[in-house]
């Protein structure tokens, strides 16, 4: 989709304006980039149908932006963007992709040390020049050095975000399904397992082998890496690799089992099959060369004397042992959420009104939601002053959507000194309080852990938001003692969030499992900044399943009356 390309450009434009110390524009472009990123419809299609007006009508997209989108659709480039890029040294924007280097530091590095790219930066660090720069110091130099290392590792092994790939994979699958020769088409590999990042897309199809040719002729295909009669590997225009495999209907189950992986899970399963005198392959389960089963995955697992294992658990982290003992729990279902408790509206840095968010939530069959703007200290995200929060609570109370309970809440900052950004007398007025860390990331483990525990012990706090603060591919989690946090959450009966934003997915799978083992209850939220992002909930549910979560572990699967007891 062209959306991803444009949203990337807008993010970059925001960075450049940031670097140039331009006011407002960075925020506007970031916001627009995020809207576009989450838009379900193709911008090209909107433009084709409704022209410039259609683009203008998208919330969060200003007039000058829709013109730029039009220009990109028509010409494949944006002049202003090229101009902007030329106006600053080439490597500088790239430099800001390194954790710990924001616009201020990047421009200082450039102005004082003539650092324009990664190479310059590494050289300057080697020579010990960076630590002598005002505002840097040895600690900061060390952090930057570490980030450079991570950055380079990432570049060499690029993995995409699940949330970024899932819509593209779904689009490809639906295109394949429209071909007259296709019967089944399904994404396997890491996508089917809902792993947080994706190396490449694997698609399994059944039907006539003609599909392979038709697939290679798709518009989006830039390059064919390999092509045979039953399979093909291609690179799409957005540089994503897709592997397609076509099999006969009667081996669909065993092929699906094989290509879903993970590799380690597959290897272990094959070993167990062998011990029992079977042979398991992508073509089926065999005994003395006689085929036993292969039509569906369930029967393969059952024949091997174990429970069916959902794809999200297939990582060889003792799921096979548990399946043999029939101890795989019934995981939370993708339709189990009854209310989303973390979202932003126009009042802070979101794109839609309370009413619009509520109506969109109603369409998802939710029974309740919470509106949770940022608190006053988050200037950059337009956090609410106490006075504006009071007004906002009134607005929320006035908003009515049939059959939907709308809670007034806040995502209150846990400040660097450990205190909360609103006083208790303010927090008391809210139905639900989420406390999150947005600053002081480089503090010691002890300090950060204590900040969070302090928030947990505050009687007005209900939920801890995106607990580890990581941004996948961009920022490592801060140092925090999760074990202590989980114990405190359990003791104080507080909830911990699974944030569904594609680059957060925080808590992550292994930590979800640990939290549950510690008896901690969780909620799955989207942290949506627009109506479209409410649908990201499936990413969070996917992680919850990967973390072995049952419905009863996730409190926002409960009816409103039941849920209220936890607040
Ligand atoms: P990715 O693409 O890095 O996100 O991860 P996957 O899991 O999608 O891995 P990929 O695309 O290399 O392979 C897709 C599936 O094919 C994998 O999940 C399991 C299966 N597979 C690939 N190579 C092997 C192998 O050497 N042995 C076994 N048992 N299965 C394999
Ligand atoms: Ca793959
Ligand atoms: Ca693959
Ligand atoms: Zn938020």
Q: List residues, by chain if needed, whose CB lies under 5 Å from ion ligand 2.
A: 189-190, 200, 202
Residue 118 CA to ligand 4 centre (angstroms):
32
Taking residues 87-93, report their average pLDDT.
79
- Parse the chain into domains and list their residue ranges: 2-86, 92-156, 160-247, 255-324, 339-566
522 CA distance to ligand 4 centroid (A)? 16
Ligand 2 centre and the CA of 188: distance in Å? 7
pLDDT reported for residue 21: 80
Q: Are 500 and 534 in contact (CB under 8 A)?
A: no
Structure confidence by residue, pLDDT tens digits, 527-553: 999 999 999 999 999 999 999 999 999
262 CB under 6 A from ligand 1? yes
Reply yes or no on whether the pLDDT at 94 is more than 90.
no
The predicted pLDDT at position 522 comes to 98
Check: CB of residue 254 under 8 Å from CB of residue 300. Answer: yes
Going from the Cα of 174 to the center of ligand 2, the distance in angstroms, rounded, reads: 18
Long-range CB contacts (< 8 A, 24+ apart) of 557-561?
A: 557/332, 557/336, 557/337, 557/338, 558/338, 559/338, 559/367, 560/338, 560/339, 560/367, 560/368, 560/405
Distance 173 CA to ligand 2 centre (A): 15
Instruction: Answer with the residue of higher pLDDT: 162 or 94.
Output: 162
Q: Looking at the predicted structure, is the pLDDT value of residue 54 above 90?
A: yes
Q: Which residues pair with 554 in a beta bridge?
A: 522
CA of 24 to the centre of ligand 2 (A): 40
Fold designation for 160-247? Beta Polymerase; domain 2 (3.30.460)
Per-residue pLDDT reduced to its tens digit, 380-439: 778 999 999 999 999 999 999 999 999 999 999 999 999 999 999 999 999 999 999 999
Q: Ligand 1: which residue has its CA nearest to atom 28?
A: 263
* DSSP-derived pairing of the beta strands 432-436 and 405-413: parallel
62 or 454, greater pLDDT: 454
- pLDDT, one tens digit per residue, over 354-386 is 999 999 999 999 999 999 999 998 877 789 999
pTM above 0.95?
no
Smallest CA-to-CA distance from 98 within 57, 54, 48, 154 is with 154
Longest CA span, the chain: 77
The pLDDT mean for the chain works out to: 93
Q: Residue of the nearest CA to atom 24 in ligand 1? A: 263
Ligand nearest the Cα atom of residue 465: 4
Ligand found nearest the CA of 261: 1
| pLDDT level of residue 154 (50, 70, 90 thresholds) | low
Tell me how far the alpha carbon of residue 395 lies from the centroid of ligand 2, in angstroms.
Answer: 46
Burial class (CB in 10 A: 0-12, 13-18, 19+), 478: buried
Class of the domain covering 2-86: mainly alpha
CA–CA gap between residue 371 and residue 393 (Å, rounded): 9
| Ligand nearest to the Cα of 169, by number | 2
Counting ligand 1 atoms within 8 A of each CB, the residue from 226, 263, 312 with the most, and so the one to mutate, is 263
Residue ID of nearest Cα to ligand 1 atom 20:
259
- Closest ligand relative to 260 C-alpha: 1
CB of 261 closer than 6 A to ligand 1? Answer: yes
Nearest ligand to residue 344 Cα = 4
Reference 479, options 443, 445, 438; nearest CA is 445
List the residue whose alpha carbon is closest to atom 16 of ligand 1. Answer: 259
- The average pLDDT across 147-167 equals 83
Q: Of the bound ligands, which one is closest to the alpha carbon of residue 262?
A: 1
Q: Is the CB of 311 under 6 A from ligand 1?
A: no
Mean pLDDT, rounded, for 296-315: 96
Q: Please determine, looking at this structure, whether the domain spanning 92-156 carries the CATH number 1.10.10.10.
A: no
Q: Nearest C-alpha to atom 25 of ligand 1 is from which residue?
A: 263
CB of 198 within 6 A of ligand 1: the answer is yes
- For the stretch 6-49, pLDDT in tens is 998 999 899 888 888 888 899 899 999 989 988 888 899 999 99
Structure confidence at residue 23 (pLDDT): 84
If one counts every other C-beta atom within 10 angstroms of the C-beta of residue 318, the result is 10
Residue nearest to atom 23 of ligand 1 (CA): 263
- In this structure, which residue's CA is closest to atom 19 in ligand 1? 261
Q: Give me ligand 4 centre to Cα 13, in Å.
A: 23
Query: Ligand 1 atom closest to Cα of 200?
Result: 2
CB of 164 shorter than 6 A to ligand 1: no
Residue owning the nearest CA to atom 8 of ligand 1: 189
- Top mutation candidate among 261, 272, 542 for ligand 1, by most atoms within 8 Å of CB: 261
Given this structure, which CATH class describes domain 339-566?
A: alpha beta
pLDDT tens digits along 199-226: 999 999 999 999 999 999 999 999 898 8
Q: List the residue whose alpha carbon is closest to atom 13 of ligand 1.
A: 189
Q: Is any atom of ligand 1 closer than 6 Å to the C-beta of 398?
A: no
Strands 241-247 and 405-413: unpaired
Question: What's residue 232's pLDDT?
Answer: 96
Please tell me the number of the ligand nearest to residue 233's CA: 3
Question: Which of the listed ranges 12-16, 87-91, 440-444, 473-477 does the model predict with the highest average pLDDT?
Answer: 440-444
136 lines ligand 1 (CB under 6 A): no
The arithmetic mean of pLDDT across residues 99-114, rounded, is: 83
What 3-state class would DSSP assign to 202? strand
Q: What is the DSSP string of 271-332?
A: HHHHHTT-EEETTEEEETTEEEE-S-HHHHHHHTTS----GGG-SSSSHHHHHHTT----BP
Range 141-156 average pLDDT? 79
- The rounded Å distance from CA 12 to ligand 2 centre is 28
Residues less than 5 Å from ion ligand 4, measured at CB:
411, 527
CATH architecture of structural domain 255-324: 2-Layer Sandwich (3.30)
Among residues 351, 348, 356, which one has the least CA distance to residue 33? 351
To test the pocket of ligand 1, the residue of 161, 189, 193, 196 to mutate (highest count of ligand atoms within 8 Å of its CB) is: 189
- Ligand 1 atom with minimal separation from the 191 CA: 8
Domains 2-86 and 92-156 share a fold: yes
């Amino acid at each position: 989709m062209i959306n991803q390309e444009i949203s990337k450009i807008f993010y970059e434009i925001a960075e450049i304006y940031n670097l140039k110390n331009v006011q407002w524009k960075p925020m506007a472009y970031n916001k627009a980039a995020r809207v576009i990123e989450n838009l379900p419809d193709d911008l090209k299609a909107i433009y084709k149908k409704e022209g410039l007006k259609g683009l203008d009508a998208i919330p969060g997209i200003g007039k000058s932006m829709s013109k730029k989108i039009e220009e990109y659709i028509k010409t494949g480039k944006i002049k202003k963007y090229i101009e902007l890029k030329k106006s600053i040294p080439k490597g500088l924007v790239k430099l800001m992709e390194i954790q710990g280097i924001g616009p201020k530091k990047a421009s200082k590095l450039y102005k004082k040390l003539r650092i324009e790219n990664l190479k310059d930066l590494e050289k300057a660090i080697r020579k010990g020049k960076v630590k002598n720069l005002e505002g840097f110091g040895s600690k900061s130099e060390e952090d930057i050095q570490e980030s450079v290392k991570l950055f380079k590792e990432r570049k060499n092994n690029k993995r995409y975000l699940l949330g970024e790939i899932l819509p593209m994979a779904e689009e490809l699958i639906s295109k394949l399904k429209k071909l007259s020769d296709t019967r089944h088409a399904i994404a396997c590999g890491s996508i089917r397992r809902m792993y947080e990042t994706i190396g490449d897309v694997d698609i399994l199809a059944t039907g006539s082998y003609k599909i392979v040719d038709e697939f290679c002729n798709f518009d989006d295909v830039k390059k064919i890496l390999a092509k045979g009669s039953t399979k093909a590997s291609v690179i799409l225009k957005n540089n994503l690799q897709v592997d397609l495999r076509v099999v006969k209907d009667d081996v669909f189950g065993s092929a699906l089992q094989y290509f879903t992986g993970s590799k380690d899970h597959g290897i272990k399963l094959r070993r167990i099959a062998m011990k029992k005198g079977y042979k398991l392959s992508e073509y089926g389960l065999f005994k003395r060369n006689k085929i036993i089963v292969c039509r569906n995955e369930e029967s393969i697992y059952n024949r091997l004397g174990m429970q069916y294992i959902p794809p999200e658990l297939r990582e060889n982290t003792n799921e096979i042992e548990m399946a043999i003992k029939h101890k795989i729990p019934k995981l939370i279902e993708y339709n189990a959420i009854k209310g989303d408790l973390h979202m932003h509206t126009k009042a802070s840095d979101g794109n839609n009104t309370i009413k619009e968010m509520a109506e969109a939530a109603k369409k998802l069959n939710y029974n309740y939601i919470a509106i949770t703007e940022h608190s006053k200290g988050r200037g950059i995200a337009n956090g609410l002053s106490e006075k504006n929060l009071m007004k906002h609570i009134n607005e929320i109370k006035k908003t009515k959507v049939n059959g939907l309970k709308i809670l007034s809440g806040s995502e209150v900052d846990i400040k660097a000194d450990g205190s909360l950004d609103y006083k208790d007398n303010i927090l008391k007025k809210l139905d639900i309080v989420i406390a999150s860390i947005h600053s002081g990331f480089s503090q010691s483990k002890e300090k950060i852990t204590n900040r969070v525990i302090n928030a947990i012990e505050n009687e007005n706090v209900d939920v801890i938001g995106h607990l580890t603060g990581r941004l996948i591919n961009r920022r490592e989690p801060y140092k925090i003692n999760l074990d202590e946090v989980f114990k405190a959450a359990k003791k104080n009966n507080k909830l911990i969030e699974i944030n569904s934003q594609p680059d957060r997915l925080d808590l992550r799978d292994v930590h979800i499992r640990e939290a549950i083992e510690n008896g901690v209850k969780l909620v799955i939220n989207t942290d949506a900044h627009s109506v479209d992002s409410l649908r990201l909930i499936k990413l969070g549910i996917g992680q919850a399943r990967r973390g072995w979560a049952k419905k009863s572990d996730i409190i926002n699967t409960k009816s409103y009356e039941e849920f209220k007891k936890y607040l």
